[in-house]
Chain A
Amino acid sequence: MTFALIIISALILGCAAVAMALRNLIHSALLLIGSWAGVAAFYLWAGAEFVAFAQILIYIGAISMVVLFAVLLTRQGDAPEPVEFPSLSRFVTGLIAGGGVAGVLIGAILGMPFDVRTAQSAPALSVKELGAQLMGPHAVSLLVIGLLLTVALLGAVLLASDRRPDQPEDTP
């Protein structure tokens, strides 16, 4: 079990780290998709299959497409970003800040004695129970999320469209 977890972790972290370091945005994005798939695998490993499928469906099915489209729509020729001093210094300071945070977090995790019920079997939560939970105690949140998604959709359409509202739809 733990072995599987470590493999999955390595996949996730490796993909993510390489993605963050690459210059080629497409490759970065594809690697990140791999990383997300790893996260989905992690969910599967942890027994949350519904979440895992949702992760795949949304991240790999939808967000990845958005990312790729964004990349393609914003290409500035094939010339990669030049390595200049500002970007270097930014990289270094970023690394320092990230390292700081990592240090703090890792220190906290390692130093904190968790009272853990290391259950061998994953807790069983059927889709039906999950649905009941969503529609029962969390119904309001669900509605709010629905609203958020609608608004985000409309907002994104508005932001991304450069057509002025008075311009007619170009009919073929």
Chain B
Amino acid sequence: MSPLQICLLLSSLLFCIGLVGVLSRGSAILVLLGVELMLNAANINFIAFWRYGPNPDAGTGIVFVLFSIAAAAAEAAVGFALVIAVYRHQRNIRLQEANRLKG
């Protein structure tokens, strides 16, 4: 098993952990944290392919990860602001109760 495959396995497992968290946890905060994990998993992939890919000198992977981290920061800021807004609205952060827009 090459290091690359290990890296990829790591990232896919991390992704799935995040996914399970997102799908199974009721707390909006944990859901968001799951999403963050998934983003990290993706970043791991970028780095892995940069490290073991055919064009390491390009540096695109790193640049992309930097952008991704910035995007994640933005997502976290907005996401947790949303959580607080939801909390203010329904005095808890259980996602299954946040269904006002139900059709």
Whether the complex brings A and B within 8 Å at their CB atoms is answered yes
A residues adjacent to B (C-beta < 8 A): 1-2, 5-6, 9, 12-13, 16-17, 19-20, 25, 28-29, 32, 35-36, 39, 42-43, 46-48, 50-51, 54-55, 58-59, 62-63, 66-67, 69-71, 73-74, 76, 81, 86-87, 90-91, 93-95, 97-99, 101-102, 105-106, 109-110, 114-119, 122-123, 125, 129-130, 133-134, 138, 141-142, 145, 148-149, 151-153, 155-160, 162
Task: Enumerate chain A residues within 8 angstroms of B53, measured Cβ to Cβ.
Answer: 117
Residues of chain A lying within 8 A (CB to CB) of residue B76: 62-63, 66-67
| Bound-complex Cα distance A46 to B27 (A) | 34
A73 touches B87 (CB 8 A): yes
Chain A residues within 8 Å of B96, by CB: 86, 90
A58-B69 in contact given A81-B27, A95-B24 (Cβ < 8 Å): yes
- Give the number of chain B interface residues (Cβ < 8 Å): 73
Interface of A is mostly: helix
Establish whether residues B43 and A94, one from each chain, have CB atoms under 8 Å apart when the complex forms. Answer: no
Give CA–CA (A42, B43) in the complex, Å: 11
Give residues 24-39 of B contacting A (CB, 8 Å): 24-27, 29-30, 32-34, 36-37
- For B47, give the chain A residue with the smallest CB separation: A46
B interface majority secondary structure:
helix
Chain B residues near A129 (CB-CB < 8 A) = 59
Q: A16-B14, A16-B18, A86-B96 are in contact. List 14 more A-B contacts (CB 8 A).
A: A5-B10, A48-B62, A59-B36, A66-B76, A69-B80, A74-B83, A74-B92, A81-B94, A109-B8, A116-B52, A123-B51, A148-B74, A152-B75, A156-B77
Out of A48, A87, A160, which one reaches B26, CB within 8 Å? A87
